[in-house]
């Protein structure tokens, strides 16, 4: 992988120009796009950049103008083939208007943190225009946070088909400035035109591509048949192991859903945040012989244990999900390359050290499953059927109570039009789960973003208090080691 922090600004911009250059969605992105039922089965998330001051508006607009030319994906719209014979294409939006996608507003109410989160919730729940490029941003000015006036926040809403969390962090690392001072940006080439925007032609091109791939596919099938004929017992063993792995991957084990987290509708989102020093969370994981991710998940499960105890409900395990990155060295930047893993979260283990150890064993086991990327086999079939089929497939994730994602963030200080980015919170979409949590590290701080189904959790303030308790008990492990 490229060490983005070691690049000069000029080198970073050159790399950024290669971000998101695939002409069509991959099958996973197509599945998320066609199965989207906002907000109930949404694939829209929000990134919140907390800024130490109000950025210069003209510089901010100019930076977005330059950035969307450097990375044309943010000027592209989705073109569906006239029949679903293949994935959609990305084509230039000839009607692109930056002032539609980038706006500004004054801080709501008293400019406090709760008021900002409430505004972010409403911003996230407003659906994206599916006929335009799949992002919107709004600058919120006049915030007063922790007694400091004049702060601001930049909210960026994107559809998941644009990129996953890792791809988003790559982009931020490459295009954000490393100084408050104005940095002259190099000119970028004129945007390419002449791309076909005819859905009939797109379908015909896809059929033609599939026909051209048939000889290679037939050759692969014939080679596989020869292997099976020569080694039937070994082939049968591989098939049996894969089927067993598939069953484990697609079901979260013996965990029963929590009786406290039922009744979710996905129509009401409640945001929350926590934070801690990255060094402290790493120390806690190290003290238990585990990773930062193990400590992160252990804190969440500890919080859910406290929440159930407050309600007098005893639980030992809860079904949860975690994305596993499938990115490899040399993969193009941007896009989506991950698989979802399901397992039974050991919420009932009181000792945070034992809980971290149990999580580590489960995560390592799940990562080693042969069928971890099984969605790649199912998605192409679902994508060529009515979109409701894909939506039903996506609802597999709705069987879990908690989904947790950890994305390594930016290690060096970054700036947006003269304002320093102090925190970066990710509020991931809520596709049927009760609680979605994304952690992003930013310049030594772990930023936890919570998206909670308000129909399933009426007392989300109490739940956030419990999550804070779970984080505290995990961090205490590192302090006494």
Same domain, 257 and 242: no
Position 221 scores a pLDDT of 45
Position 215 scores a pLDDT of 64
Same domain, 395 and 460: yes
Q: Which domain holds residue 474?
A: 253-409+436-480
Domain contains 431: no
Which phi and psi angles does 273 have, rounded to 5°? -140, 150
Domain contains 61: yes
Same domain, 331 and 367: yes
Catalytic residue list = 160
Same domain, 278 and 139: no
Same domain, 213 and 301: no
Same domain, 242 and 257: no
Kind and range of the H or E element at 141? strand 135-145
Find, among 442, 467, 427, the residue nearest to 42 by Cα: 427
Report residue 12 as tokens: 């970073």
Ranges of the chain with pLDDT below 50: 1, 217, 220-221, 224, 227-228, 235, 238
Same domain, 142 and 209: no
Position 186 scores a pLDDT of 73
Same domain, 179 and 242: no
Position 342 scores a pLDDT of 83
Domain contains 197: no
Same domain, 289 and 404: yes
Q: Kindly state the DSSP code that residue 83 receives in the 8-state scheme.
A: S
- Torsion angle of C-alpha atoms 138, 269, 29, 75, degrees rounded to 10: -10
Domain contains 56: yes
Domain contains 106: yes
Question: Is 278 in contact with 402 (CB distance < 8 Å)?
Answer: no
Domain contains 452: yes
Burial call 398-412: b when 16+ CB within 10 Å, e when fewer? bbbbbbbbbbebbee
Question: Is 320 in contact with 400 (CB distance < 8 Å)?
Answer: yes
Position 326 scores a pLDDT of 77
Domain contains 196: no
Last residue of a domain, one of 143, 165, 189: 189
Same domain, 215 and 272: no
Question: Is 436 in contact with 450 (CB distance < 8 Å)?
Answer: yes
CATH of residue 76's domain is 3.30.559.10
Position 228 scores a pLDDT of 47
Domain contains 374: yes
**Measured CA distances, 40 to 47, 77, 89, 115, 203 (Å):** 19, 23, 25, 24, 30
Same domain, 210 and 157: no
Position 224 scores a pLDDT of 44
Position 217 scores a pLDDT of 46
Position 276 scores a pLDDT of 98
The number of folded domains in the chain is 3
- pTM greater than 0.95 (yes/no): no
CATH of residue 266's domain is 3.30.559.30
Same domain, 212 and 351: no
Position 185 scores a pLDDT of 74
């Amino acid at each position: 992988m490229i060490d983005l922090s070691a690049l000069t600004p000029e080198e970073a911009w050159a790399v950024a120009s290669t971000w998101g250059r695939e002409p069509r969605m991959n099958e996973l992105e197509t599945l998320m796009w066609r199965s989207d039922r906002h907000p109930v089965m949404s694939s829209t998330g929000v990134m919140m950049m907390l800024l130490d001051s109000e950025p210069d508006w003209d510089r901010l607009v100019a930076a977005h103008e330059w950035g969307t030319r450097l990375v044309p994906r943010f000027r592209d719209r989705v073109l569906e083939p006239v029949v679903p014979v293949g994935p959609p294409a990305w084509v230039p939006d000839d009607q692109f208007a930056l002032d539609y996608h980038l706006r500004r507003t004054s801080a709501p109410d008293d400019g406090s943190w709760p008021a900002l989160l409430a505004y972010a919730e409403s911003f996230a729940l407003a659906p994206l225009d599916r006929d335009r490029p799949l992002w919107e941003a709004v600058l919120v000015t006049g915030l007063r946070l922790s007694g400091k006036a004049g702060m601001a926040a930049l909210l960026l809403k994107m559809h998941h088909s644009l990129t996953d969390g890792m791809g988003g962090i790559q982009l931020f690392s490459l295009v954000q400035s490393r100084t408050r001072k104005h940095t002259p940006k190099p000119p970028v080439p004129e945007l390419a035109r002449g791309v076909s925007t005819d859905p009939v032609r797109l379908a015909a091109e896809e059929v033609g591509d599939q026909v051209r791939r048939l000889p290679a596919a037939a050759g692969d099938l014939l080679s596989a048949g020869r292997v099976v004929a020569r080694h039937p017992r070994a082939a049968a063993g591989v098939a049996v192991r894969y089927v067993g792995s598939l069953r484990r991957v697609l079901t979260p084990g013996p965990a029963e859903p929590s009786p406290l987290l039922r009744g979710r509708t996905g129509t009401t989102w409640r945001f929350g945040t926590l934070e801690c020093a990255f060094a402290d969370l790493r120390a806690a994981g190290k003290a238990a012989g585990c990773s930062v991710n193990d400590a992160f998940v252990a804190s969440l499960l500890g919080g859910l244990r406290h929440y159930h105890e407050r309600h007098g409900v005893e639980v030992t395990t809860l079904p949860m999900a975690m994305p596993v990155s499938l990115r490899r060295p040399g993969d193009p930047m941007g896009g989506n390359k991950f698989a979802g893993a399901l397992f039974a979260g050991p919420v009932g283990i009181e000792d945070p050290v034992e809980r971290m150890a149990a999580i580590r064993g489960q995560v390592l086991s799940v990562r080693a499953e042969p069928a971890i990327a099984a969605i790649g086999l199912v998605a192409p079939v679902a994508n060529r059927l009515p979109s409701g089929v894909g939506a039903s497939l996506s609802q597999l994730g709705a069987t879990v109570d908690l989904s947790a994602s950890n994305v390594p963030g930016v290690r060096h200080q970054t700036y947006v039009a003269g304002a320093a980015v102090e925190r970066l919170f990710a509020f991931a979409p809520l596709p049927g789960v009760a609680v979605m949590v994304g952690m992003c590290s930013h310049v030594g701080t772990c930023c936890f973003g919570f998206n909670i189904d308000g129909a399933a959790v009426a007392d989300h303030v109490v739940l956030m208090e419990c999550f804070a308790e779970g984080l505290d008990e995990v961090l205490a492990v590192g302090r006494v080691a």
